[in-house]
Amino acid sequence: MQTFPEDHSQARPETRPEVRGLDLDPQTRCRHYHSALDIIAIKMNCCGVYYACKDCHVELADHEISVWPRAQWNSKALLCGACGNELTINEYLQSESRCPACSAGFNPGCRNHHHFYFEPDTP
Ligand SMILES: [Zn+2]
Ligand SMILES: [Zn+2]
Ligand SMILES: [Zn+2]
């Protein structure tokens, strides 16, 4: 008799947005970032499309990334590759590297890359 793992996620997979990237796996890891924790996809402000990372955007899109201005940080722009939950930028920045929906761990090292995606602090 076959058993299937229980699905604890509340997200419906058919509602997942498209994610683009090189060598994408089902949890949105890509050729550049593929550790166990690299499961976040980011919607690019420039084109409104989810990419696995900025390097995938560089290789696949024909334009420069534009960062999310702070005024738009309440937009859903992060996708948890584990459960398909979409987070706003504010939710993501306050998530302490854990998905609020399924509590999958995110890569804390992504913090070092925030300035590629989100408007940096202005002193
Ligand atoms: Zn773009
Ligand atoms: Zn990539
Ligand atoms: Zn999740």
> If you measure from the C-alpha of residue 9 to the centroid of ligand 3, how many angstroms do you get, rounded to a whole number?
8
Ligand 2 centroid–CA 71 distance in Å is: 26
| CA of 80, nearest ligand number | 3
Other beta carbons within 10 angstroms of residue 118's beta carbon come to 20
Ligand nearest to the backbone CA of 10: 3
The answer to whether the pTM exceeds 0.95 is no
Sign of CA dihedral 24, 87, 97, 84: negative
CA of 48 relative to ligand 2 center, distance in Å:
17
Contact 117, 54 (CB under 8 A): yes
Ligand nearest to the CA of 101: 3
For 81-106, the pLDDT digits (tens) are 999 999 999 999 999 999 999 999 99
Q: Any idea which ligand is nearest the CA of 45?
A: 1
Which parts of the chain sit beneath pLDDT 70? 1-14, 123
Helix (H, G, I), strand (E, B) or coil at 102: coil
* Residues whose Cβ atom is located within 5 A of ion ligand 3: 80, 82-83, 85, 99, 101-102, 104
pLDDT at 35: 96
Looking at residue 103, what is its pLDDT?
Answer: 97
**pLDDT for the residue 19:** 97
Domain ranges of the chain: 17-117
C-alpha to C-alpha distances, 77 to 2, 7, 8, 24, 85, nearest whole angstrom:
37, 24, 23, 18, 10
